[in-house]
Amino acid sequence: MSDAPDVEFDDRGLVPVIAQDAGTGDVLMLAYANHEALERTRETDRAHYYSRSRGQLWEKGATSGHTQSVREIRVDCDGDTLLYLVDQEGGACHTGHRTCFYRTVEGEHVGREEFDPDDVYD
């Protein structure tokens, strides 16, 4: 018998995942996982997601090298959101920023740039 909480996937088979830097506490990104992405993450300790636009499983950093090593996975009270606590290699954001949340809603730039995306992506 296990006390492991049930994870509630939505009608698309997805659950939102917040990735947080385990060291600094920075919220890095929000993405989605399906059952397979969660299982692969648990097996490998590398963050996996499901890309809604590409319609496929996605290992974070497989192209860019900016992988996320997962220290812990948490589940919220309702079981319908996950939190990956990660060690982020380089930057989490495809724009080159450390975190995807590099702007305020007023448009102020508050994030740090880690890399030039032209050097990383084709």
Residue ranges for the binding site? Answer: 76-78, 80, 93, 100
Q: How far is the CB of 33 from a copy of itself (least distance, A)?
A: 11
Q: How far is the CB of 99 from a copy of itself (least distance, A)?
A: 8
- For the annotated binding site for Zn(2+), the residues are 77, 93, 100
CA distance 35 to 17: 12
CA distance 88 to 26: 10
Residues within the interface to a copy of itself (CB under 8 A) = 2-5, 7, 16, 18, 20, 24-27, 29-30, 38, 42, 72-78, 81-83, 93-95, 97, 100-107, 110
Torsion, Cα 11 13 16 21, to 10 degrees, reads: 170
